[in-house]
Amino acid sequence: MARMHTRRRGKAGSTKPFVTENPFWVPLTAEEIEEKVVELAGNELSTSIIGIRLRDEYAVPSVKLATGKSINRILLDNELEPERPEDLENLMRKAINLAAHLQRNPKDLHNKRSMHLIEAKIRRLVKYYRGTGRLQDDFKYTLDTARLMVE
């Protein structure tokens, strides 16, 4: 698949094997996995960290294969969904750090372009999340609002 902001394709990449059912060696049942997800979410962990913890500490390779629901869906069912999507928040953090760098180094043209590309991704994600209802309809991205939200 081509990259978003360049005309190139990636050199290589691993793909997950095509599996349609939960492996037999997973020690936890679907209910126990859901309880662990809710417990880890109560510790203020993000969804990606929850997935990594389940993989590394509890030998659950895929929450979706084991339970039939994604981690986000489990959190939504238990009313523990974060107020902002994790990918949007990570991009906002990246934009804030890059803006601070550009303030110290105003002639850094490569990172200035990178800042434009990151902000384009943020605007695209905001448009998507407004359409799906995960963000309010009046939400508008600016660097100042991102600073207030993330910090």
Residues 99-138 have pLDDT tens digits of 999 999 999 999 999 999 999 999 999 999 999 999 999 9
Residues 24 and 22: their CA atoms lie apart, in Å, by 6
Whether the pLDDT of residue 70 is over 70: the answer is yes
Give the model's pLDDT for residue 14.
Answer: 75
Per-residue pLDDT at 2 exceeds 70 = no
Q: Is the pTM of this model over 0.85?
A: no
pLDDT tens digits, residue range 78-103? 999 888 899 999 999 999 999 999 99
Banded pLDDT at 150 (limits 50, 70, 90): confident
Answer yes or no: are the C-beta atoms of 80 and 45 closer than 8 Å. Answer: no
Q: Which residues contact 75 (CB under 8 A, 6 or more apart)?
A: 37, 38, 41, 47, 81, 82
Backbone φ and ψ for 9, nearest 5 degrees, come out as -110, 160
Alpha-carbon torsion angle 136, 91, 62, 73, nearest 10: -10
**73/63 Cα distance (integer angstroms):** 11
Say yes or no to pLDDT of 4 above 60: yes
pLDDT at 1 over 70: no
Cα–Cα distance for residue pair 135/126, rounded to 1 Å: 7
Q: Which residue, chain included where needed, has tokens 């994790």? A: 86
